[in-house]
Amino acid sequence: MDLPLPLLNETAAAWGVPLSATQSAQFATYAAELVRWNAHTNLTAITTPHDISVRHFLDSLACARYWMAPEPPTSLIDIGSGAGFPGVPLKLLWPTLRLTLVESVGKKAVFLQHLVDVLALPDVTIVQARAEVAGRDPQHREQYDIVTARAVAELRVLAEYCLPLVRAGGCMLAPKGSNLAPELSAAHAAIATLGGQVRIVAPVVLPGLEPRTIAVIDKLHPTPAAYPRAVGVPARRPL
């Protein structure tokens, strides 16, 4: 696949997250596998090289700008990972990252395992489960520096899926659309209940697209044991 690598590389470098030649080649392989599998498995509606670069890869890499520590994070869990966004691009950027991809749909989990194998990525775990189940599992609960989730749910529901998984002192990164204000207003109480606090809601400018936003939520305190609630409850009865 003829991925527009100059656009990917130049934008990432301008953001302060430059890619090596090896990393660029991995992104090209990722794009090719995504399109090849998408021909028989419904993974994404975004299939042109330009749109994959911008709407998938750069949208994912934008999350890295909001990890404020000088050293890369050691661990990240991606909820509702789908075709791997934003978790796998962040693993390509930070090769030493311990990455967990949580995806409940079997065919997508199979693709993720294939992708990890093709890219020869170490320290990646794929969990086929709902977020509520992962959040109550001692192997995952409050074990991660970062939790990410893209296009999964509104923010107050997303917070209940995500915040139980991140350690106190870590953060939740939630890429969102352009108008986050109503979601944010509705979610403040839920975020506080779950041990979090909104640090910033920042614009994300992708080449050729209208500005989007990202919500950065710091985990200040452990999440109460009652959360997350049973599978399906957060979406049916948001906090």
90: domain range?
69-236
- Stretch (H or E) spanning 126: strand 124-127
Q: What does the alpha-carbon distance between residue 144 and residue 170 come to, in Å, rounded to a whole number?
A: 7
Quick: pLDDT tens for 163-211: 999 999 999 999 998 888 888 999 999 999 999 999 999 999 999 888 8
Q: Do the domain assignments include residue 22?
A: no
- Stretch (H or E) spanning 91: helix 87-93
Pairing relationship of beta strands 212-219 and 166-176 according to DSSP bridges: antiparallel
Quick: pLDDT tens for 35-51: 999 999 989 999 899 99
Is residue 87 within 8 A of residue 119, CB to CB? The reply is no
Q: Do the domain assignments include residue 225?
A: yes
Q: How would you classify residue 151: left for phi > 0, otherwise alpha for psi between -120 and 50, otherwise beta? A: left
Q: Do the domain assignments include residue 196?
A: yes
Which CATH number goes with the domain that contains 105?
Answer: 3.40.50.150
Residue 63: the pLDDT is 96
- pLDDT tier at 230, thresholds 50, 70, 90: very high
- Number of independent structural domains in the chain: 1
Query: What's the mean per-residue pLDDT of the chain?
Result: 95
Query: What is the DSSP secondary structure assignment for residue 41, as one 8-state letter?
Result: S
Percent with pLDDT over 90 in the chain: 86
Q: Do the domain assignments include residue 181?
A: yes
Among residues 66, 64, 43, 62, which one has the least CA distance to residue 53? Answer: 62
Q: Which amino acid is at 6?
A: P
Q: Do the domain assignments include residue 8?
A: no
Residue 1: the pLDDT is 64
Q: Do the domain assignments include residue 10?
A: no
Q: Do the domain assignments include residue 167?
A: yes
Quick: pLDDT tens for 87-98: 999 999 999 999
Is residue 126 within 8 A of residue 103, CB to CB? The reply is yes
209, HSE (Cβ side, Cα atoms, 13 Å): 18
